Chain A
Amino acid sequence: MSDPNGLSRRHFLKGVGAGAIVAGSIEALSAEARAAAQAANPCVGPGAVPIKLSINGSVRELAVEPRTTLLDALRNHLDLTGSKKVCDRATCGACTVLIDGKAAYSCTTLAIAAQGRTIETVESLANGAELAPIQKAFVEHDAQQCGFCTPGFVVASEALLRTNASPDRAAVLEGLGGNLCRCGTYVGLKKACMSAGAPAKGGRR
């Protein structure tokens, strides 16, 4: 798993039998080959299929079976383990990522169907060691206990704050309605989400 991209790349190079050619022409060939194959039979799988995902600003190539969820692709193929698998049934929100800027359950999105979409995970929020405002607010307001649901809540909060820079309590309840915290840290979560959007008011940040 440490070099997950290697898998699809190796498979691919083997497939076209052109190990020495440069990456650009590999992609061009691949697109043509794929288009030709798809004209005959538009179905792919059930075995691994080469796909490209736009994740956190870069295009990642990997090979996944069509049944692989975006969450499994992130965690098991790309070593992006910030998004958590808990319910795996579009309910708890621990797997929340941004797809085209909106909060979405990665456990219930197929990786192959996420091609062409812009995916942002919790890993994209901090700038190196510098936490994003919403992450600082989570620390400040003690918005986590065991912490397992936290990445999902952070991403859901980020999605809310992008559409509503200073959400009131009702907006926060609605914006975080797709996430669950079994430790019950909702008081801190609400405070964090509200304060991150309105840093001037509280004075503590």
Chain B
Amino acid sequence: MMHAFEYAAPKSLDEALKLLGSAWGDTEILAGGTDLLSLMKDFVVQPKRLVNLADVGLAGIAPEGDSLVIGAMTTLDALLAHASVPTALTQAAAGVHSPQLRSMGTIGGDLLQRPRCWYFRRGHGLLAQKDGASMVEAGDHRDHAVFGNGGAAKYVNPSSFAPALIALGASVKVRGQNGERSLAVKDLYRTPASATEREFTIASNEIVTHVVVPISRSSNATYEIRQRHGLDWPEASASVAVTVVDDKVTAASACLGHVAPVPWTVDVSSLVGSVLTAESAAAVAAEVVADATPLTMNGHKVELAKVALTRALLRAAGKEVVR
């Protein structure tokens, strides 16, 4: 049973903003609830007030100029059903192998879900420090970060959509008391320096309202690798966007998921100017993971990240070998 809280289901964004507290933890925003309610049952978060965004009108997908604007409360099912949603996003949505989660979960909730790190989920805090040392390093860390793990944060960003959105150059619209601002999806995340901070750059009284995806003619794809076929978060994933003109790559961007405390943007520009082949994809992936800093138990994730990136590139180029 969760701790008791008061509840509001405001009818407008303005009303919702007024209900949010200026300190993390006092109030929480309810989207699909698939992560938040479990965190509350485990007393990892214990809000005094819950603000449900179901009735503020943030569900829906519509083209707007050169972009596709996706409301933060749009469900995974709705993303999968919409013809204009880029492949990299629909492939990420399809990776959530639970119809229940796809009918309930939202794109905004996915972007702002909390890490799956078992130390965090057991109440040891985001940085899992004990007597000034990392419980992650001392304990079981097979699923933890292999990039960006030099500081206290060792958990991995759990978002399915962030890598794809970053590869596609997407941004989010954020509403606060002082109006609206736009933020590149990449800049939504940070690695917290202390346990009192959250892993997001937005404030507790700001709301991610929309995801804005530029409509491009790039070929894009997501490739996720899971331990099991069923419902689970990936061990590693890669999302890529590649522009090919006359068989040659003219632009390429990529982001890895589930390997670092933030979605891990990587440089694949060495592909530009040549034909994308199995060899060139593998070569750039090997180059990318050469920077990895695995802990003692998670070296396999480096290999999985390499394979995910190679296969995402080949999938985007239509050269995937289906086994």
Contacts and interface: CB of A to CB of B under 8 A. Distances in A.
Interface of A: 42-47, 49, 65-67, 69, 88-91, 93, 96, 99, 102-105, 108-110, 112-113, 156, 159-160, 173-175, 177-178
Contacts of A93: 98, 100
B40, B49, B54, B103 interface centre (most CB from chain A within 10 Å): B103
Enumerate the 5 nearest inter-chain pairs by beta-carbon distance, A residue then B residue, closest first: A178-B98, A66-B7, A46-B4, A177-B97, A102-B103
B322 interface: no
Interface string B1-26: 11111111110000100010000000
8 contacts: A44-B6, A44-B8, A88-B41, A90-B37, A93-B98, A105-B101, A110-B37, A113-B30
A83 B15 CA distance: 35
B50 interface: yes
B15 A42 contact: yes
A67 B99 contact: no
Nearest to B32: A108
B104 interface: yes
B53 to A, nearest CB: 10
B77 A69 contact: no
B151 interface: no
Nearest to B229: A173
B99 A103 contact: yes
Size class of the B contact interface (CB-based, 8 Å): 20 to 34
B293 interface: no
- The SS class assigned to the B binding surface is mixed
A178 B38 CA distance: 16
A90 B4 contact: no
Contacts of A45: 4-7
A43 B54 contact: no
A110 B30 contact: yes
B265 interface: no
A180 B229 CA distance: 13
B26 to A, nearest CB: 13
A156 B100 contact: yes
B193 interface: no
A43 B19 contact: yes
B34 interface: yes
A113 B51 CA distance: 10
Contacts of B65: none
Nearest to A107: B37
Contacts of A47: 4
Contacts of B37: 69, 90, 108, 110
Contacts of B230: 177
Interface string B52-63: 101000000000
A42 B98 contact: no
Interface string B204-238: 00000000000000000000000001110000000
Interface string B61-85: 0000000000000000100000000
B52 A113 contact: yes
A67 B3 CA distance: 7
A104 B98 contact: no
Contacts of B3: 67
B5 A46 contact: yes
Given A67-B4, A104-B103, A177 B33 contact: no
B1, B10, B77 interface centre (most CB from chain A within 10 Å): B1
Nearest to A87: B38
Contacts of A66: 4-7, 50
Contacts of B8: 42-44
Contacts of B10: 42
B300 to A, nearest CB: 24
A9 to B, nearest CB: 22
Contact of B41 (A44, A89, A104, A159): A89
Given A93-B98, A102-B103, 15 more contacts: A42-B15, A43-B19, A44-B7, A45-B4, A46-B4, A66-B6, A67-B4, A67-B40, A69-B37, A88-B41, A105-B104, A108-B38, A110-B52, A113-B9, A113-B52
A167 B144 CA distance: 37
Contacts of B15: 42
A89 B103 CA distance: 16
A150 B34 CA distance: 22
Contacts of B4: 45-47, 65-67
A174 B1 contact: no
